Amino acid sequence: MVDRGTMKKLYLSIIIPFALIACSHTKPAIIEDQVKGPSVITNVSAGKNEVVDKADIDGDGKPDAFIYYKKDPKTGQRILLRKEVDLNGDGKIDLIKYYDAKGNSTKDEMDLDFDGKIDRIVKYKNNKVYMVLLSSGFDGRFDIKQFFDKGKLVLIKRSTKKNGVFDEFQYFVKGRLVRIGWDRDGDGQPEVFKDNPTVQEF
């Protein structure tokens, strides 16, 4: 499994030039000069009224980043749908970013250990994170849910038995853990609580 530092470097190395490609309205040849690396094949039909821009970011001659669009039937303009990236060059997509009709992020999906299963899902409202789902076992089963309010962490739910039932609840105020609750009867709601004595504000 790739460590977090390596993943961050991979992510940044892919997303930064990839974003430049997506935002540019110039010709592919000019994009190549600006980005200093990716070669771009643009406007390739992807089916279902979709077109795709393909980029070879690692320079191995194979496309590893894909930006999908659909055409507005009234204006003919391209509307961004999603971006897909093969982070480790194995031919499989490891990161998918979804967008609404206005170009706002709606969801990210990421395969953290490159085994073909999604391990992290990030959901957005108004371009801000409101939920993150994690598979701590990297097996495709999401046993951790993180909830955010205006981009700040407020609650973490855990399925400690990894059976799909969330039985531990961690509550946060201003980024600090203030309370933990446990579900003892399996109804999905905490009945037992313990406050953090070092934090007085609730």
pLDDT level of residue 202 (50, 70, 90 thresholds) = very low
- For residue 71, the model assigns a pLDDT of 84
- For residue 117, the model assigns a pLDDT of 92
Q: 8-60: per-residue pLDDT in tens? A: 444 444 444 444 333 333 333 222 333 334 455 555 666 667 889 999 888 88
* 3 state SS of 38: coil
What average pLDDT does range 121-128 have in this prediction?
Answer: 94
User: Please, what is the Cα angle at 55 between 96 and 101, to 5 degrees?
Assistant: 45
pTM (2 decimals)?
Answer: 0.74
CA 97 from chain centre, in angstroms, equals: 6
Q: What separation in angstroms does the CA of 56 have from each of 29, 35, 67, 149?
A: 13, 11, 12, 37
Contacting residues for 96 by C-beta, under 8 A, at least 6 apart: 82, 83, 84, 85, 108, 109, 110
Q: 53-84: per-residue pLDDT in tens? A: 999 888 888 899 999 999 888 888 889 999 99
Per-residue tokens: 88: 């480790």
Q: 93-103: per-residue pLDDT in tens? A: 999 999 998 99
Nearest to 132 by CA among 168, 158, 99: 158
Cβ atoms of 131 and 124 within 8 Å: the answer is no
- For residue 144, the model assigns a pLDDT of 97
Phi-psi region of 149 (alpha: psi -120 to 50; beta: other; left: phi over 0): beta
Q: 155-181: per-residue pLDDT in tens? A: 999 999 888 889 999 999 988 999 999
Residue 1 has pLDDT above 60, yes or no: no
Per-residue tokens: 49: 């009224």
Radius of gyration of the chain (CA): 20
Q: What separation in angstroms does the CA of 60 have from each of 56, 84, 89, 107, 138?
A: 7, 17, 9, 29, 28
Least reliable range by pLDDT among 16-20, 122-126, 196-200: 16-20
Least reliable range by pLDDT among 42-56, 76-90, 127-141, 144-158: 42-56
Contacting residues for 164 by C-beta, under 8 A, at least 6 apart: 141, 143
